[in-house]
Chain A
Amino acid sequence: MSNVESVAQAEVPGAAGVPVSPDGGPEKPRSLTGDAWDDLRRNWIFWAAAVLVVLVVVMAAFPSLFTSADPDACALSRQHQGPSGSAIFGYNFQGCDVYARTIYGARNSVLIGLFATIIAGVIGLIVGMAAGYFGGWIDAVLARGIDIVLGIPTLLAAIVLARRLSADPQDTGFWAVVFTLGVLTWTTGARIMRSSVISAKNQDYVAAARMLGAGPGRLMFRHILPNAAAPFVVVLTILLGVNISTEATLTFLGVGLKGNAISWGIDISTAAPYVRETATPLVWPSIFLAMTVLAFIMLGDAIRDAFDPRLR
């Protein structure tokens, strides 16, 4: 499990060939549309990531496109049967179709990742903007608050929080995980937003707009946000991947999704003790999980490279 802080810290571009300015001098900040999009289009990592993301999202939305089998139709009589024409990945310990469960597992991962990231994004946006825009003591207090939350190891706190939130054994734990991840992972977004707003605020055109009498709301949404958007989107894209990864870890440990929820984390966790007998129930959900996380992190990485090509 990586955390978004370490991914975001790795301020290094990917591997595609984007032209450098001849003297390697500082580039002007890039707009969301122009050069950055040109770079992005030529980056194969971006296209690989985009294809994967689309695939996973379609799988989450319409799993029945990929399989006609029922992931809940399990029969102990088929326990650990190997791959066959009807179940190409074989059957797991409970005799469920591994392929069907793997396909249907995408939905929970993607939804939890998405909702948790939206919560984190909204908190990060509000806290970061408030700190950056108002400055002064508000900034001092909020920045300290960000530091404190950043000082809490995410997974450890998630274990205690998720455990508490889903104490009800009937519950699948879906919202508990969403909420847990949301409230613990907003800090990176908040920091990015804060520094973007501070630097945007000091730019001439914003000062000019303020002089012309633009109110705080108008300033924020017409002038400051558009410029702060790019790095924020990058961080949230990566965070989406990281959240999916953390969800699987929590579920694996037993404090995430529970009971009869269909989830890669649960499948990995139930298959792991039986790897000596059969490998496929472990391998396939693992591969799908890894590819999903990879897709979002790659996407974020590629977008960041397009906006910040300094270190090529």
Chain B
Amino acid sequence: MLVSKDLDMFRYFVRRVLQGVLTFFGATFIVYALMFANQDDPLQALAGERPLPENVRQALTERYHLDDPFILQYGHYMRGLLTGDFGISLTNRPISEMMQQAWPVTIRLAVFAIIISALVAVTAGIVSGIRRGGIFDTTTLIITLVLLSLPIVVLAPLAQLLFGVQLHWFPATAGAEPGFYQLILPAVVLSCLVIATQIRVTRASVAENLRSDYVRTARAKGLANRRVIGVHVLRNSLIPVVTLIGVDLGNLMAGAIVTEGVFNIPGVGFNLFRGIRTEDGPLVVGFVSILVIVFLVVNLVVDLLYAVLDPRIRYE
């Protein structure tokens, strides 16, 4: 019995990892093609409108193996990425070095945002799911609708204007070494990007689970309501919420570019933001590539986590 159970789990893992690997190469190939394929002068495109001195041109040609056939170029590109060689920006700084400085800031910001959104979303989602149709539920649904519709380019500058510039509750910009306090406002802004979906999924899932038979069993076991909801219902309801993490991460990355740009937070998003505005092609390509890889890897991990959380899935 034990053996067959582990085998099922193992099969599931192998299948998911294989699928993940396929998606990984497919997606990175497409992104690479979007960057370089079918261009008269990819290097000039990288550099934008700047003049490109011959020595830089040569270095870049070598760097991107532009004399090789396309598929080989992609191979070189992937090898570079997987061995930690991300190239050099037009300002002549190694991208890996910029990354090293930027990651800690961005991770702090993102984790902060995720904690805020998870706490608020799970609480609000549970209350809404229990009291469906009530005032709290109705209000929450309207708020989520508004949050779902607020573009980050509206949210970030307006939050900065209102809470930073006008009310002075928080610093309007975070500065070079942002601490906890400086990150509160940007983290709240960022969390707004994912909170609405999390609330809605939690609510739907709680409502559905509350109607299920095992809740009746849990009551019949003489468990307090607190425990029925806090343990039995919650544990089941969180399964779909966890699977959202993958989608959320894409939103957070997109949001971080604008948020870090607006609040001047020296993270990954800020570097990318500046790279786009200064037309630093190699920087954009390098950063985007890394973010895509992180996104794909996290999604694969989430997929595997799903199997751990939901014992039924391993048998599908």
Contact = CB atoms under 8 A, between A and B. Distances in A.
Is there a contact between chains A and B in the complex with CB atoms less than 8 Å apart? yes
A12 interface: yes
A151 B299 contact: yes
A2 B158 contact: no
Main secondary structure of the interface of A (DSSP, over half): helix
B157 A311 contact: no
Interface residues of A, number: 63
A159 B275 CA distance: 11
Enumerate the 5 nearest inter-chain pairs by beta-carbon distance, A residue then B residue, closest first: A10-B200, A148-B26, A155-B254, A294-B149, A245-B151
A164 B35 contact: yes
Nearest to B32: A160
A54 interface: no
A169 B49 CA distance: 8
Interface in B158-205: 158, 160-161, 165-166, 172, 193-194, 196-197, 200-201, 203-204
A294 B39 CA distance: 38
Contacts of A32: none
- Most chain-A Cβ atoms within 10 A of its Cβ — which of B154, B194, B200? B154
B142 interface: yes
Given A153-B253, A275-B160, A282-B161, A6 B151 contact: no
Contacts of B145: 14, 45, 294, 297-298, 301
A244 B267 CA distance: 27
A88 to B, nearest CB: 19
Given A12-B200, A276-B165, A283-B158, A149 B30 contact: yes
B167 to A, nearest CB: 12
B121 to A, nearest CB: 11
A11 B204 contact: yes
B247 A152 contact: no
Given A10-B144, A254-B277, A297-B145, A153 B197 contact: no
B258 A252 contact: yes
B158 A282 contact: yes
B23 A147 contact: yes
A301 B146 CA distance: 12
Contacts of B203: 12
Interface in A175-190: none
B206 to A, nearest CB: 11
Contacts of B296: 151
- Most chain-A Cβ atoms within 10 A of its Cβ — which of B144, B149, B165, B276? B149
